[in-house]
Every structure is written in C-alpha cells, then in structure tokens.
Amino acid sequence: MIIDFHSHILPAIDHGCADSHESEKQLRIMCANKVELAVATPHFYPHIHRTSDYVNDVDESVKAIRARLGDNTLGISVAIGAEVLACETIDRMPDIDKLCIRGTKCLLLEMPACGEWERLQIEAVKNLIDNGYNVILAHIDRYMKRYEDKIDTLIAMGAMAQVNAESLVTHASRKKMMAYIDGGYVCALGSDLHGSEKSSYKAFARLERRVGTENFKRIMDRSKELLATAELVEL
C-alpha cells in the first residue's frame, strides 16, 4: 500500500490548494501514482488559529471536495490531520486531540524553521510523547543544517520522523536521510504537495527506487500501522 503521509490537498484551507478544482487535480496526480491513502495535513499555526474554527474550516473544506466529486469518486482514501507548528506551550494547548490525524493519537508536528529551539519547546514535545501521543516530526530533512543534534534528541525521546520525497533526490540530503531510513527512524514519507503541477509529484513517484523496495515497504507498513484506526474519507 502506498501512503503519502504529508500533503496539502484540501481546498481553500491553506496555501497548498486554492479551491476544489485544484484539490481534484492533486488527488488525480496521487491516484496516477498509485497512492491509495493520503494524509491531508493543512497548516495549523497556534499563534493564528483557534482550534474550534480550524476544525470547522477543515470540515467545510472536506465537504467542498466531496461535493465537487459527487458520485465520481477517484478511489483514494484520505485521512484528515494537520501540520501543527510547535511552540513551547503546544503540550498544554486545549483540544490538541482535535489536531491529531482523526481517529488516531498521531500528531504531525512541524518544528520552527528558524530561531533557537528553546529547552521548553523540546520539553513540550517530550510531554506530548509522555502523554501518549505519537509525535511525528514533519520533514526532518529540512532541519539538518542547523538542528540535526536537536532532531536526534527528539528521536531519542521517542518522536518519530517523516521525510519529504524531495530530499531524497539531491545527493547530499539523500545520504543523510538514508542514514535515518536505514536506521529505522523514519515512519512516514510524504510529498508535502502544494499546488497541482505534475512535476511537483515526481520525487514522490520515484521514492521506492530511491530508498529501495525493502525500506519502502517497511516504512509504508509502519505508516499503515499508525493509521490503522484513522477515520478515512473516500474520495
């Protein structure tokens, strides 16, 4: 089973997909590449969004793509999650459960791209893990230049890692990511699809060749396990 664990495919909810027309195009690209299950992970920014409004907006967005497709579904299952930006109080945020992939305790957490990661941010992630959440670090490949040691600290604490397909194309980042993959630290692969250019899915389409069949299957099995209880929307 091919699972794309990180994608911005829901219409008009973030900058990944303008409307349901574009959403349909994105889903068609996924289907053409044999993706059977996609996790929709629209951005959630704790300093901007209110969880209840965000959840309502996500529900409306799902309704919009369902309405567009009507009975002409494409044959892809979609789990509804979020890409949650970490902050130092994220572990105490009310309704954090509502930002997990629906039906699971999996939380796709995006660490900040700049600034220092304070001790409190690391502690917040640890608290989430201790409270029973499956914390999955989004696109660890992005943090290698500046935060590699911190990523290793979070993984040692029990966080899991998601890798973006794009990072497996260029030689330098591929080498690094393969070390995490070969070490068994990666539980999910994603396209992080924004927009509907076919070329933006090239890297994901070539993943099995890039990481090797055995690694690919192992990671997909791990993703499937994490999503075993997920509520799926059939599109």
Site string for Fe ion, 194-213 (x = CB under 5 A): --------------------
Minimum CB distance to Fe ion smaller for 2 or for 85: 85
Nearest to 32 by CA among 217, 202, 207: 202
Minimum CB distance to Fe ion smaller for 84 or for 227: 84
Question: Residue 14 interacts with Fe ion (CB under 5 A)?
Answer: no
Minimum CB distance to Fe ion smaller for 10 or for 122: 10
Q: What is the amino acid identity at position 206?
A: R
Site for Fe ion in 76-95 (CB under 5 A): 83
- Of the candidate spans 26-34, 49-57, 71-79, 189-197, the one that interacts with Fe ion by CB under 5 A turns out to be 189-197
- Of the candidate spans 51-59, 148-156, 166-174, 188-196, the one that interacts with Fe ion by CB under 5 A turns out to be 188-196
Instruction: Outline where 33-170 has alpha helix (H).
Output: 51-69, 119-130, 144-157
With b for 16 or more beta-carbon neighbours within 10 A and e for fewer, the 128-149 pattern comes to bbeeebbbbbbbbbbbeeebee
Burial (CB < 10 A; 0-12, 13-18, 19+), residue 110, is buried
Written as six digits, the tokens of 157 are 């604490």
Minimum CB distance to Fe ion smaller for 226 or for 234: 226
Question: Residue 141 interacts with Fe ion (CB under 5 A)?
Answer: no
Closest CB 11 distance from Fe ion, rounded Å: 16
Closest CB 119 distance from Fe ion, rounded Å: 26
Cα 93 to Cα 84: distance, rounded to the nearest angstrom: 11
Closest CB 163 distance from Fe ion, rounded Å: 12
3 state SS of 39: strand
Cα 136 to Cα 128: distance, rounded to the nearest angstrom: 11
Question: Residue 192 interacts with Fe ion (CB under 5 A)?
Answer: yes
Minimum CB distance to Fe ion smaller for 84 or for 230: 84
Three-state helix/strand/coil letters over 4-37: EEEECCCCCCCCCCCCHHHHHHHHHHHHHCCCCE
Closest CB 41 distance from Fe ion, rounded Å: 6
Residues that bind Fe ion (CB under 5 A): 83, 192
